Structure 1
């Protein structure tokens, strides 16, 4: 059956949707009580032209619809089995089982779990409660309580999955509340996400940003003999795809990962952006995601698959496993995520004169949702409303006497509130919420809608090493914005720069990234983000088959002469690898024997690596400095350019240096396989300007 919105030109549908949404949140709107104890804002007068929201509960299914979208969920499991929109009976993949089309899941480790990567729990629930059932809105709660009889089976959490449909909305909202209490045993949370699987016969074109859009291969193309598995399971060479245009390309879901701060809207269309239906996932806020704005998560990828990942160890490793002690009290709200659908008749873009595509409309809907965040209409008391939140304002500047005697504006800098800890600890923080913003040109910043609680204020500024942390704990209270005044970030420095390599921006993106092997190409990344190409780690041995990289700070250019990743070298065809030692050569006109120099090494990522530092004596049995084994970021294999940022300050006694030519030897000693290595962000040698000891 065709829905009322089917065939409406996008420009008109967008106008109706936008005006309706804004009216839903009018201060003059009436309030409606409901069983959950919260209040729902009703639409203003004149906005009831859309059909009311209707709910139908059956023995095995629950159906909720508003005349535009209809969602079918299992009862009481809470899995999405069908989404009807624009005359299409189901947007979800019908060839999959009903519980494998749209669901929340968790990967976890604990007693009784023997799988290396942990156990997968689809969070099938046991009870259904109707929180709100009004013409303007329906909210459903699917819950599951953990008990000791379930030890080792489901994740030891109490689960509450919510689904919300509103009148006049071309989509629905979903969020979940996880709770660990004194009845629950210890365990570790590895991954949790929302998974949506659109139909492969309807959705072929994927868009995750303005520049990253493309038609995608089919899942059958990844299976032998059409697909050839490569060095790790996620990467497949398409040797005989159904659509010949994909032949010779590498398909890998990690090629489409993004930083948390950039994951706002992504999804799928038909053949191209002018197709008739769009399937989108919109997240106006990233406050509930783990590990801050630079943490990388999967987004959309082949399948088709459309993900909202809230917590994962990708690009971080085991350091981001969330440990819970037995009886530890914890509760967190993940989401809401808005699942949005739009439609466009084939002639609408030209006849309407708007030039708006499905992607453009999805971005516009993101702005609509962002203006409404935090939502006022959710029924859970665990989701803080706007009047239960606070904020913080201030101004940040940078003081580095090597560059200027005056404080400098923090161009491109970010500040954020996260759980109290050490500088940079927000990279590994996952139990609480985080709130970040980019500072203005003059250094001013304002963070609003912060959930009440205690935080530290953190930050970093491109162009300067290290992490900023405000000394005092910030106590955010409802309805109040705290002014912290003028703050000064003093990046680590002991003395003047003698030489430097790279740009301190927390990535290895400025270094030399080779062209991909033509046998392993993703066409999307030929002219952008070259590091996304498969197999770049193999290019190092091709460029340096016998001897390792030697870099002369006086004559070489890090953009051309410093390979972006220090990886192992494959030895012949016997499947073994060897560690690598890079040399940094430089000259000093005069050295001081009785003082210390400082070597600053900022790493953009590390995976099973051990960085050893030696100065002028490569054969020394004991290195001057070693990191020990660090990192499980797996950034090299997953086509990233950064993982966890690490800064090391190595004391170099002046007695090790000589007047004239000197060499720093950087050895990555672990040689277990091709993906063990590290990426540098920036290296700098500091030295005193006189024989007097440098300041601390």
Structure 2
């Protein structure tokens, strides 16, 4: 595993794949794979191929880094970091936020805490789409279902996939809809947005309020097959198999970020949730397909607009019929009716 650095690029080379970043900005400007020099759109400027951005009250900020460093360099793993420090002399020209985005190349996987966004072809080549309506909102999905998405090159039988093993950094609950892709092809990973819900789920801060949050890590997956009429199906099936492997592998412990607690620094919740629904059965039955979330104490539904944190300490149960907040009454319901047994540590 090799890394090369010049005055304006950083390159991670695993042999089967070579990823090139701009230095120190951190844009993904090239991906070499299976004999293809660059999977990204070379007709676009290098800064407009793979990047991440943030929309705020004054417009779009590309959050490009100003410094670069190598965090970890071993025979099995490389972790690099791009950092952008807020310069108050620029005033409202730039977002008043310090950001760090890291990319890790580990045998045999690549993970990232940035948004990976290959940009589209300038002129669509598929004549079947002429006159068709096609936009990013047609690729929306519930957050709970955004586990793997991407694009396939049918000419080369190559797939590029974004895998999200955990949605712990997302907010507004499992049924919040979010974008996954754009026409072109473009792969998106949206960390937070007001899509479909409005400003109530947007980030807001008080004057001088301190805030820090880790988004990701995400997993970028490339696969290939022999060109055939069945290649697209096999690539998609393989991508789903890899997604299941990444979900089972979560929590990632290879990242060196002090702000991303490893598994031994986190608590756990386990137990059994039983319900009594007289319309189904007079006896207690398993709460199949229920969602149980951990959230900060608040009014009913407040968990949906809590954008700043990850997980809190209080139990909330929500379903299609009722939205419950924490209360002593709910505590009694959990204890005496639902028989909700928990083993909670380090919370």
CA 1:424–1:397 in structure 2 vs 1: closer, same or farther (change >3 Å)? Answer: farther
TM-score (norm 1): 0.45
Which residue of the partner structure matches residue 447 of structure 1?
none
Does 1:459 find its partner at 2:317? yes
Pick aligned residue for 1:173 from 111, 135, 139: 111
Deviation at 1:107, TM superposition (A): 0.8
Q: Which has the higher helix share?
A: 2
CA 1:402–1:374 in structure 2 vs 1: closer, same or farther (change >3 Å)? Answer: closer
Tell me if the contact between 2:299 and 2:326 (Cα under 8 Å) persists in the aligned partners: no
Does 1:71 find its partner at 2:11? no
Which residue of the partner structure matches residue 281 of structure 1?
162
- CA displacement, residues 614-646 of structure 1 (integer Å, 9 cap, x when unaligned): xxxxxxxxxxxxxxxxxxxxxxxxxxxxxxxxx
Deviation at 1:167, TM superposition (A): 2.9
CA distance in 1 between partners of 2:38 and 2:308 (Å) = 36
Deviation at 1:420, TM superposition (A): 2.3
TM-score (norm 2): 0.88
Deviation at 1:397, TM superposition (A): 4.2
CA distance in 2 between partners of 1:248 and 1:100 (Å) = 27
Does 1:126 find its partner at 2:7? no
Q: How many correspondences in the alignment? A: 334
Tell me if the contact between 1:173 and 1:336 (Cα under 8 Å) persists in the aligned partners: yes
Deviation at 1:431, TM superposition (A): 0.8
Deviation at 1:311, TM superposition (A): 0.2
Which residue of the partner structure matches residue 103 of structure 2?
163
Report the secondary structure of 1:151's partner residue.
helix
Which residue of the partner structure matches residue 371 of structure 1?
248
Deviation at 1:471, TM superposition (A): 3.1
CA distance in 2 between partners of 1:373 and 1:284 (Å) = 7
CA distance in 2 between partners of 1:310 and 1:80 (Å) = 18
Does 1:326 find its partner at 2:207? yes
Deviation at 1:470, TM superposition (A): 4.4
Pick aligned residue for 2:84 from 139, 144, 147: 144
CA distance in 1 between partners of 2:245 and 2:296 (Å) = 29
Report the secondary structure of 1:368's partner residue.
helix
- CA displacement, residues 313-361 of structure 1 (integer Å, 9 cap, x when unaligned): 00110111211112212110001111110111226979xxxx9711111
- CA displacement, residues 255-297 of structure 1 (integer Å, 9 cap, x when unaligned): 110011000000010138xx52110001100000121211111
Name stretches of at least 5 consecutive residues in structure 2 with no aligned partner. Answer: 329-333, 340-347
Does 1:91 find its partner at 2:39? yes
- CA displacement, residues 4-38 of structure 1 (integer Å, 9 cap, x when unaligned): xxxxxxxxxxxxxxxxxxxxxxxxxxxxxxxxxxx
RMSD value, Cα: 2.6
Tell me if the contact between 2:83 and 2:99 (Cα under 8 Å) persists in the aligned partners: yes
Tell me if the contact between 1:93 and 1:101 (Cα under 8 Å) persists in the aligned partners: yes
CA 1:486–1:331 in structure 2 vs 1: closer, same or farther (change >3 Å)? Answer: farther
Does 1:337 find its partner at 2:275? no
Tell me if the contact between 2:140 and 2:179 (Cα under 8 Å) persists in the aligned partners: yes
CA 1:359–1:392 in structure 2 vs 1: closer, same or farther (change >3 Å)? Answer: same
Which residue of the partner structure matches residue 146 of structure 2?
263
Deviation at 1:68, TM superposition (A): 1.2
Question: Counterparts of 1:400-479 in structure 2 under 5 Å?
Answer: 409-434=286-311, 454-462=312-320, 465-471=321-327
Tell me if the contact between 1:142 and 1:162 (Cα under 8 Å) persists in the aligned partners: yes
CA 1:199–1:319 in structure 2 vs 1: closer, same or farther (change >3 Å)? Answer: closer
CA 1:405–1:469 in structure 2 vs 1: closer, same or farther (change >3 Å)? Answer: farther
CA 1:404–1:359 in structure 2 vs 1: closer, same or farther (change >3 Å)? Answer: closer
Larger Cα-atom Rg: 1
Report the secondary structure of 1:303's partner residue.
coil
CA distance in 2 between partners of 1:151 and 1:324 (Å) = 17
Report the secondary structure of 2:138's partner residue.
helix
Deviation at 1:244, TM superposition (A): 3.8
Tell me if the contact between 1:63 and 1:70 (Cα under 8 Å) persists in the aligned partners: yes
